[in-house]
Amino acid sequence: MAYQWTRTLRNGISGNDVRELQIRVAGYAAATSSRTHITVDGQFGPATEGAVRRFQASYNLSADGVAGPQTHTALNNLEAADGSTRHFNWSEFHSRDGSRFSGGAVSATQVQENVRRLMYKLEAKRRKLGNIPLTINSGFRSRSHNSSVGGASNSQHLYGSAADVSSSTTPTRKANTARTCGFSGIIIYQTFTHVDSRAETTGGGYYWP
């Protein structure tokens, strides 16, 4: 069921609906390469307004920074019926050892919420890359699975806030695009790009190549 927006959202107001808005426009944190992200605090300030403007422009809406009915519709068009997003599904992010979202650094419920937030950033990244499909090579990892693949002991994959992504474009192009999408961790590998939200999830600093 689509999120029920009950009012127009604009700079200066606050509430749980603002928090949901911030989650959904987080992938539009910057217009150019910038070490910044949208703080999901329920306070509609200049950063949120800027993200809304960029989201609106991407979807050919009037870029006024005010989230009214047309913006609400565009946001809900990205939402799938099961709470995932239009171009990504939960199973893509399940731990590869069959534990789904369990056995990580936080509860399965929190992992799923972190994955949901990650999905919206990836939706933005996908659109900015020209709507090319993105393949999730690795999403959430249980501690057991993370250990078996040699992951770092404090990996963001343990929180559900990281994804290793491949596509038809180059890892470098994906990384350059990710720098506008509010990701605080970016690592370029030969055939894929790692992105994560460590600054939000664990309060870590930025790690960019």
**Apex CA 133: angle with CA 85 and CA 87, to 5°?**
10
- Separation of first and last alpha carbons in the chain: 39
For the record, the structure tokens of 87 come out as: 């171009």
The phi, psi pair for 163, rounded to 5°, reads -145, 140
Catalytic one among 37, 145, 157, 194? 194
Rounded to whole angstroms, how far apart are CA atoms 67 and 83? 21
**Apex CA 156: angle with CA 165 and CA 161, to 5°?**
65
For the record, the structure tokens of 203 come out as: 């309060």
Helix, strand or coil, per DSSP, at residue 72: helix
The phi, psi pair for 138, rounded to 5°, reads -155, 130
Rounded to whole angstroms, how far apart are CA atoms 16 and 9? 11
Rounded to whole angstroms, how far apart are CA atoms 42 and 35? 21
Q: Is 194 a catalytic residue?
A: yes
Active centre residues (catalytic): 194
